[in-house]
């Protein structure tokens, strides 16, 4: 599913967000689930657009938008993250600044309330790009980020998903990614782009599995020369394709539009056996998204005042 590129010549700002791609259909979501998701997406657009409308940076905007989605139990990131096979929550996040291609990421963190903000601290306050596990948790405490108890992340719905998976097959793995990942991409009034992604992974993951979200170039990438990308879907395939960087490379080196690049790369992922989606914005204000699943929680807004919030493939 593609969306027409818009705002290509607009000198203002743009913001695009997602709350995961997967099997969301009108007959699989209850009215309450539909309404909760749309409310969460609108709240995230409000947070990010307030930054951009006030002259703030794309980097600040994507962090603000993703923090809202991390705090919303309707999505699989932060509060409402899915459970590992062992019944814990392990959180991944990444952020990238298109001005300098500086980036920060964390994997397998367990106590930071907003992992996207921890990823930003890794980028700005360490010599590293990616911290994982106990080291990432220690860095978070050392830097004074807000810590929470495990029950902050846990929700009954996610626990039920794990129990159902275990009851059906002890070795099952949620490759369908029905509830996966949140992200944001933005272009500020100065023409700079940024991307951020955060996730609770997949239900039943084991052995410290890490997906594409915190991997720069796979699930997250930003480059002022091409655009900003945040991905969601079956992470193993997105890693193999190097989705986010591949899209930007096609724009920068092959002259593709963001929409063409996104559609082409998502087709490549599907050929490998994976599904999911991407959100995109470019330094000229282009907006696009592309997904190969029945639905993707998504939204976009720009300085022109136009706003779209959508879930299903036949809208938005």
| Domain regions of the chain by residue span | 14-312
* Average pLDDT of the segment spanning 115-143: 98
Would you say residue 172 has pLDDT above 60? Answer: no
According to the model, what pLDDT value does residue 4 have? 39
Would you say residue 197 has pLDDT above 50? Answer: yes
Residue with tokens 């699943």: 293
Distance, in Å, from the CA atom of 154 to the CA atom of 140, rounded to the nearest integer, reads 20
According to the model, what pLDDT value does residue 6 have? 44
Angle at CA 179, nearest 5°, toward 246 and 260? 25
Would you say residue 117 has pLDDT above 70? Answer: yes
pLDDT band at 102 (very low <50, low <70, confident <90, very high): very high
Would you say residue 215 has pLDDT above 90? Answer: yes
Annotated active-site positions, please? 181
Q: Across the beta sheet with 220-223, what order do the strands follow?
A: 220-223, 227-233, 276-281, 287-291
Report yes or no: 73 and 87 within 8 Å, Cβ to Cβ: no
- Model confidence, pTM: 0.93
Percent of the chain with pLDDT strictly greater than 70 = 92
Residue with tokens 């991944």: 92
Would you say residue 230 has pLDDT above 50? Answer: yes
pLDDT digits (tens, 9 = 90+) for 3-56: 534 444 455 899 999 999 988 889 888 999 999 999 999 999 999 999 999 999
Q: Across the beta sheet with 14-22, what order do the strands follow?
A: 130-132, 102-109, 91-97, 193-199, 182-187, 14-22, 295-302, 307-312
For residue 213, what are the β-bridge partners? none
pLDDT band at 282 (very low <50, low <70, confident <90, very high): very high
* Strand bridging mode 130-132 / 102-109: parallel
71 three-class SS = coil
According to the model, what pLDDT value does residue 171 have? 53
* Average pLDDT of the segment spanning 217-235: 96
Secondary-structure class of domain 14-312 per CATH: alpha beta
Specify the range with the lowest mean pLDDT, choosing from 25-29, 56-60, 123-127, 269-273: 25-29
DSSP state of 147: B
Q: Where are the beta strands (DSSP E) in the chain?
A: 14-22, 91-97, 102-109, 130-132, 182-187, 193-199, 220-223, 227-233, 276-281, 287-291, 295-302, 307-312
């Amino acid at each position: 599913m593609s969306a027409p590129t818009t705002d290509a010549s607009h000198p203002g700002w743009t913001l695009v967000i997602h709350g995961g791609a997967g099997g969301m259909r009108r007959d699989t979501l209850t009215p309450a689930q539909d309404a909760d998701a749309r409310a969460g997406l609108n709240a995230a657009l409000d947070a990010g657009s307030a930054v951009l409308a006030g002259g703030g940076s794309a980097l600040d905007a994507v962090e603000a938008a993703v923090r809202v989605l991390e705090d919303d139990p309707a999505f699989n990131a932060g509060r409402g993250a899915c459970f590992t096979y062992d019944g814990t929550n392990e959180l991944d996040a990444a952020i990238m600044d298109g001005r300098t291609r500086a980036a920060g990421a964390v994997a397998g963190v367990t106590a930071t309330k907003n992992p996207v903000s921890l990823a930003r601290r890794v980028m700005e306050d360490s010599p590293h790009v990616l911290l994982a596990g106990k080291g990432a948790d220690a860095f978070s405490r050392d830097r004074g980020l807000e810590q929470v108890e495990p029950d902050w992340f846990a929700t009954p719905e996610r626990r039920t998903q794990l129990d159902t998976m275990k009851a059906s097959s002890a070795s099952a793995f949620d490759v369908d990614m029905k509830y996966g990942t949140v992200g944001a991409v933005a272009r500020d009034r100065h023409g700079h782009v940024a991307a951020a992604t955060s996730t609770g992974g997949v239900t039943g993951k084991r052995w410290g599995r890490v997906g594409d979200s915190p991997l720069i170039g796979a699930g997250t990438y930003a480059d002022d020369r091409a655009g900003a990308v945040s991905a969601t879907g079956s992470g193993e395939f997105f890693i193999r394709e190097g989705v986010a960087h591949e899209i930007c490379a096609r724009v920068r080196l092959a002259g593709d539009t963001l929409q063409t690049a996104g559609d082409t790369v998502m087709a490549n992922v599907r050929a490998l056996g994976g599904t999911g989606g991407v959100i995109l914005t470019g330094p000229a204000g282009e907006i696009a998204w592309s997904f190969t699943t029945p639905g993707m929680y998504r939204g976009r807004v720009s300085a022109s005042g136009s706003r779209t919030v959508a879930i299903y493939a036949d809208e938005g």
